[in-house]
Amino acid sequence: MHGDSLTKTTIKLLLYLSFCVFLFTIRSQAVAWSVLAGSVVLFLFYPDSRMRRGWIPISIIVVTTVVGNLFFIPGRVILSKGVFTVTEEALNLALLRVVKVAGLIVGAKLLSITTSFETMIATLKRLSSPLNRIGVPAEEFFETTGMTLRLLPGIKEDIISRYRSLRVDGRISLVKKLRIVGSVFIPALVESLRNPSEYLHGSGGASFKESRQPKQ
């Protein structure tokens, strides 16, 4: 791993951490709206399509954050419908918390898009190296984390392959589908622990599909 790459990644991580701290210190509505607008624009128009992956769960998280902070907050009432009351303080609180959530998600996505997991793990190992001197096994932790991240794509392929081989009827109930997913997830997880090399992508390890192909 090149030193320049680790240095750039270190700067990116420090910038992201600084941005996270900044998000939790925002109190001004003008600043909050500016950060929220910037996060939305970056999410919608960033050239790399990976930025917009997972937009459905992200939308659910954002909506849940808004709804969870919009009602039952005492203050100056600006809207009242039955048992639901929206106050000015609730709007401010919802805005600030949505800004934090949106900023953290977009920032993390931008960091993951511009930096490989391997480089990120290597950088975190270097930054946490002083902890090893006081008996904290930081290096082992990040090595395990890196190995886990490299195994995930292969495990995902294995689960999908096992699920498709069952030819599940799409008309079955959701509960049965979840049981089937569980029945293929556990064997894939056990297999990945027994033979991790078959699930590794890159760095000398064949992908799951390649490792499962019959030898001629």
For the stretch 26-53, pLDDT in tens is 999 999 999 999 999 999 999 999 999 9
Q: What is the mean pLDDT of the chain?
A: 81
- Which DSSP category does 215 fall into? P
Beta bridge partners of 79: 86
Q: 172-195 burial by CB neighbour count: b if 16+ within 10 A, else e?
A: eeeeeeeeeeeebeeebeebbeee
Q: Which two tokens stand for residue 66?
A: 């808004």
Is the pTM here over 0.85, yes or no? Answer: no
Q: In the predicted model, what is the mean pLDDT of residues 51-57?
A: 91
Domain ranges of the chain: 3-126, 140-212
Least confident of 33-37, 105-109, 144-148: 144-148
Q: How confident is the model at residue 9 (pLDDT cuts 50, 70, 90)?
A: confident
- Which DSSP category does 49 fall into? G
Strand (E) or helix (H) holding 86: strand 84-87
Q: Which two tokens stand for residue 158?
A: 């294995």
Cβ-in-10-Å burial (0-12, 13-18, 19+) of 123 comes to buried
Check pLDDT > 60 for residue 208.
Answer: no
Radius of gyration for the alpha carbons in the chain, expressed in angstroms and rounded: 23
Cβ-in-10-Å burial (0-12, 13-18, 19+) of 163 comes to middle
- In this predicted model, which residue has the larger pLDDT, 152 or 106? 106
Check pLDDT > 60 for residue 138.
Answer: yes
Q: Which two tokens stand for residue 68?
A: 């969870």
- In this predicted model, which residue has the larger pLDDT, 48 or 211? 48
